[in-house]
Structure 1
Amino acid sequence: MGAYINGFYAFSPVSTNDRAGILYVATILSLVFSVLTLLVRWHIQRRTFGLDFWVIVAATVVALGQYAAIFVGLDNYALGKAVSLMTKTDQLSAARSVIASIDLFLISNALTKCSVIFFMKRLFSTDNRTAKLLCNSLLGLVGVWVLASILGLSISCSASTKFALEHRCEGQITRWSVVATFDSLFEIAIFLLSIILVVPLQMTTEIKLSVVFAFSFRLIVAVFAIIHVYYVSEWSSASDPGIASVYSLLWQQIELGYALMAATIPTLRSFIRGYEKAMGWESSYYIRNTASRTANSTYQLSTMHKSRHEEERGEAGGAVFGLQRMETCDREPLRPDRPNYKAQIYGPGLDNVSENVPRRTKSGSSGSSQEPIIRKDVEIQVSSEAAH
């Protein structure tokens, strides 16, 4: 495979009849950047791994299969070379590698979209049913799209037609145009959804623009999808499909690698830090559930009784309204969840007052909730004295 050119060893020399080296470089770079991006995502979300993280992990694993299919075709079946340099067996095997890479590309690309949608769902749909409904609907449409795309590109198109000089698979341009159109529309929909969900929020315009800008990077995936379809059309009509397939697969690697990276960009803290502060999250979105830090610490709180002054005023005919702290055993001081409120009335002749006094009951506890909730405990004491 390799050769010495002007005294330098070239692993895969690029020539008129051999463009495999171009595809090697694109595939290796896409692979490296995808893995590095996943490591960055792991570092960002290492405290709590949400569903959006596991989906992008699945997308990267599927992408590795796509890269492997390309490497197998390049190493063993003369993929990237002119058809004249391929045997019939090589053409058939290379075509199978290409079909496998295309199917895995579609699945991985769809999973990157799902990862972004799951992230948006966690970010915006805490108490917003509309946001949750829109995200779930978009997830369902993406799932239908990827299944329909795989079937649409495979029906009546066997491996023997991929590199055939005659009687190639018909309708490939139309099929890929439909696939790329929906691919681009989904990216636009994700961007528009971020605008729809951010605009109603009570925060500064600067923070809103920062959040929307983070999701705007996905729009470049739509651009790559259009370029990819253009080179698919060149492949379908080229006199040498072996060489023309290189550029189609090249843009496939570019689109997939960028889609994996763009799925991580909105999770960077530089984009969502202002959003977190505006929503009242004291720490990062990813580390709000740190129960492991309090597993080994216990703080005992004592009972709060009436003061001597209150007791004297109660005996004198006065009345004291207040909150009484009960004995509790929290794992962390000032823990915001499991709030308890108890109102008590002190004083003679106030048997029927409690009926007219509004009571503060136990609010909805977060329990094991994974969503950020803002809580504020307020203690109010109201006292009255009998007129003399």
Structure 2
Amino acid sequence: MGSYNSDGFYAFSPVTANDRAGILYVATILSLLFSVITLLVRWHIQRRTFGLDFWVIVAATIVGLGQYAAVFVGLDNYALGKAVSLMSESDQLNAARSAIASICLFIIANALSKCSVIFFMKRLFSTDNRTARILCNSLLGLVAVWTLASILALTITCGPSTKFALQDRCSGQITRWSLVATFDSLFEIAIFLLSIVLVVPLQMTREIKLSVVFAFSFRLIVAMFAIIHVYYVSQWSDSSDPGIATVYSLLWQQVELGYALMAATIPTLRSFVRAYEKAMGWESSYYIRNTNTRTANSTYQLSTMNKSRHEEEGVFGLQRETTCDKHPLRPDRPNYKAQIYGPGLNDLPENMPRRTKSNSSGGSEEPIIRKDVEIQVSSEAAH
């Protein structure tokens, strides 16, 4: 594989006029590392609140690993990245198979990254919003159709025997890739516009809305990479040496896939969604701390009041104040009791504080946007 150059330095994959495999090695390794590291970061963020969006991005990363593996197999064993003149007939055939397999896996992984973002949007916005659910589900269906249609369009009449052929090389590939990239870009724009449509009607500050929309705007860069990718596919289609030209189309394929996997995690970062969660009445940090400990018997005791210090409560997004007045107006301090009631909890003992669940949540453990809470406060007169 490697060799020593004229200066005596060892090069793992020398880049020459007839061998550009080293460029593809670097792009693939970096894309692989960044996508895996980003998944680990997301696991750390959501490690106790795994939702469907997390498992979908895990599936996307696994498919992406298959795409990286297909490229590495072609580079290591079948002279992928070299000029056609340096390939044997069997190498051309096997390298073409590796390239086609990587393209199919790239389409699937890219589509799954979009689905992960849509599932996250559905988790944020659609708990009590029927319109949001319909829009998200419709977009998921369209992405699924696009995935299947793209794989069929790019592989029909473009088999391994024609991938590196000097004549009759996969006819119509520019048109096909242009359609695939157009819908790829349109889906990214649709995800961004959908975030605006779902956030604007909410009653919260403009800064919070902009923060949420900004988090989803990072997906638009995927559309830019898709356009660049198509440009280099067109260069491959018209090139006199498809072996060398394939390197650059596959290179931008690695860039687009790696960024698509990373951009799916950006909206989940707490710096973007924490203010939104508070405005909606639930706090992810509270949910994480109490997922494994809260039960139906949980009680919440109100403390006494304090004018000088505020303590933020994680329960229902409320705030409480505690006081330590040195000179109270009455000789004895009144005792305060609070009880919280809600539908579906009537079977609990009468004297037990209760928590409510959303009527539309179906008992789900997901963080929800709105909760109907009735608080009854009674006081006992001092004797």
Q: Taking structure 2 as the reference length, what is the TM-score of the superposition?
A: 0.82
Alignment of 1:259-338 (within 5 A): 259-284=260-285, 287=288, 290-294=290-294, 328=348, 334-337=353-356
Between the aligned partners of 1:103 and 1:165, the Cα distance in structure 2 is: 23
Task: Indicate which of 366, 370, 379 corresponds to 2:366.
Answer: 370
How far 1:291 sits from its partner (Å)?
4.2
- The alignment-based identity, stated in percent, is 75
Is 2:376 the counterpart of 1:379?
A: yes
Q: Which residue of 2 aligns with 1:3?
A: 3
SS in 1 for 2:119: helix
Q: Taking structure 1 as the reference length, what is the TM-score of the superposition?
A: 0.81
Structure 2 gap segments, 5+ residues each: 302-338, 379-383
Between the aligned partners of 2:206 and 2:355, the Cα distance in structure 1 is: 30
Sort the Cα spacing of 1:328 and 1:72 in 2 relative to 1 into closer, same or farther, 3 A.
same
Paired residue type of 1:109 = N
SS in 2 for 1:294: coil
Q: Which residue of 1 aligns with 2:138?
A: 137
Between the aligned partners of 2:249 and 2:360, the Cα distance in structure 1 is: 55
Paired residue type of 2:249 = S
How far 1:368 sits from its partner (Å)?
3.9
Paired residue type of 1:121 = K
Contact kept in structure 2, 1:12 and 1:21, CA below 8 Å: yes
Contact kept in structure 2, 1:337 and 1:365, CA below 8 Å: no
Sort the Cα spacing of 1:233 and 1:248 in 2 relative to 1 into closer, same or farther, 3 A.
same
SS in 2 for 1:336: coil
Contact kept in structure 2, 1:183 and 1:222, CA below 8 Å: yes
How far 1:88 sits from its partner (Å)?
0.4
Between the aligned partners of 1:168 and 1:368, the Cα distance in structure 2 is: 54
Which structure is larger by alpha-carbon Rg, 1 or 2? 1
Alignment of 1:56-71 (within 5 A): 56-71=57-72
Paired residue type of 2:371 = I
Contact kept in structure 2, 1:177 and 1:229, CA below 8 Å: yes
Between the aligned partners of 2:174 and 2:80, the Cα distance in structure 1 is: 21
Is 2:39 the counterpart of 1:20?
A: no
SS in 1 for 2:10: strand
How far 1:296 sits from its partner (Å)?
11
Between the aligned partners of 1:327 and 1:300, the Cα distance in structure 2 is: 19
Q: Which residue of 2 aligns with 1:308?
A: none
Between the aligned partners of 1:61 and 1:279, the Cα distance in structure 2 is: 34
Contact kept in structure 2, 1:45 and 1:286, CA below 8 Å: no
Paired residue type of 2:356 = D
Q: Which residue of 2 aligns with 1:212?
A: 213
Contact kept in structure 2, 1:338 and 1:367, CA below 8 Å: yes
Q: Which residue of 1 aligns with 2:94?
A: 93
How far 1:165 sits from its partner (Å)?
0.9
Contact kept in structure 2, 1:276 and 1:285, CA below 8 Å: no
Contact kept in structure 2, 1:125 and 1:132, CA below 8 Å: yes
Contact kept in structure 2, 1:300 and 1:328, CA below 8 Å: no
Contact kept in structure 1, 2:4 and 2:10, CA below 8 Å: yes
SS in 2 for 1:156: coil
Between the aligned partners of 1:136 and 1:324, the Cα distance in structure 2 is: 35
Alignment of 1:193-208 (within 5 A): 193-208=194-209
Contact kept in structure 2, 1:337 and 1:367, CA below 8 Å: no
Sort the Cα spacing of 1:196 and 1:173 in 2 relative to 1 into closer, same or farther, 3 A.
same
Count of aligned pairs: 334
Between the aligned partners of 1:365 and 1:108, the Cα distance in structure 2 is: 30
Contact kept in structure 1, 2:357 and 2:371, CA below 8 Å: no
Paired residue type of 1:378 = I
Between the aligned partners of 1:269 and 1:176, the Cα distance in structure 2 is: 36
SS in 2 for 1:378: strand
Alignment of 1:242-257 (within 5 A): 242-257=243-258
How far 1:169 sits from its partner (Å)?
1.1
Q: Please say which of residues 367-376 and 19-28 is displaced more in the overlay.
A: 367-376
Contact kept in structure 2, 1:53 and 1:115, CA below 8 Å: yes
Paired residue type of 2:270 = R
Contact kept in structure 1, 2:192 and 2:219, CA below 8 Å: yes
Between the aligned partners of 1:209 and 1:298, the Cα distance in structure 2 is: 36
Contact kept in structure 2, 1:281 and 1:374, CA below 8 Å: no
SS in 2 for 1:22: helix
Q: Which residue of 2 aligns with 1:150?
A: 151
Q: Which residue of 2 aligns with 1:312?
A: none
How far 1:299 sits from its partner (Å)?
6.8
Sort the Cα spacing of 1:224 and 1:38 in 2 relative to 1 into closer, same or farther, 3 A.
same
How far 1:327 sits from its partner (Å)?
9.4
Query: Alpha carbon RMSD of aligned pairs, Å?
Result: 2.6
Between the aligned partners of 1:299 and 1:51, the Cα distance in structure 2 is: 30
Paired residue type of 2:226 = A
Paired residue type of 1:266 = P
Deviations 1:236-272 (A, max 9, x none): 0000000000000000000000000000000000001
Is 2:76 the counterpart of 1:75?
A: yes
